[in-house]
Amino acid sequence: MSVPVDVADLERVLAGFGAGYLLTVSAASSVKAVSVAPTSTGGDLLVSGPGRGSIANCGANPAVTLLFPPRVAGDLSLLVDGTATVDGDDVRIRPTGAVLHKSVS
C-alpha cells in the first residue's frame, strides 16, 4: 500500500521520522546508500556532508531518493524522490514526489 504525500506537506510528514538514507546512482549504475539527517530549507532538503561518493554520484546523476524507515515496526516508511544539486560538501534536494509505504510484514 502506498499513500501519496503532497510535497507541500513534506516538512510536516518528515517530523514523524528520524534519520534516513540517501540513495544515489553512479555513472556506472552502482547504487550507494548513506545514512543522513536532512534539514528542510525553503522547500528543499539539505543533506550535510554525505561523503565524496554520494557527491560524485549526484554530479553524475541528479535523480535521488531519500528513504526514511518506520520508527516502529509495522508503521509506514517514507520515500522521497528528488533532484539533487551539489553545494560544496553538501547536497540540496528539490523533492519531486513522496509516498508513505507499508512494509511487507
State the pLDDT confidence band at 105, using cuts at 50, 70 and 90. Answer: low
Mean pLDDT of all residues belonging to the chain: 94
* 62 touches 84 (CB < 8 A): yes
CATH of the domain at 12: 2.30.110.10
- Side-chain-side CA neighbours of 95 within 13 Å: the count stands at 27
Q: Which structural domain, as residue segments, surrounds residue 90?
A: 2-102
State pLDDT tens for residues 60-93: 999 999 999 998 888 999 999 999 999 999 999 9
The domain total for the chain is 1
* 17 touches 67 (CB < 8 A): no
pLDDT reported for residue 17: 95
